[in-house]
Amino acid sequence: MLLRATSSPLSLNYSHMRKIYEKLHVGSSTEAVSKALKDRLV
């Protein structure tokens, strides 16, 4: 059996997005988009 020492890209991406949501004080991508539009970030 071959074991990998690194995490999968998907789990890293999820962790990264979770941290961004925490910084924005939102819980989902929909809330993040809504906040960005409300705050005129995009």
Taking only the tens place, the pLDDT of each residue in 11-38 is 667 888 899 899 989 999 899 999 999 9
pTM metric for this prediction = 0.58
Residue 4 lies in a domain: no
Structural domain of 28: 9-38
Phi first, then psi, for residue 24 (nearest 5°) are -85, -10
Residue 2 lies in a domain: no
How many CA atoms are closer than 13 Å to the CA of 32, on its beta-carbon side? 11
CA distance to 17, 18, 32, 37, per residue, from 13 (Å): 6, 9, 16, 23
Question: What does DSSP assign to residue 11?
Answer: H
**Structural domains of the chain, count:** 1
Amino acid identity, position 40:
R
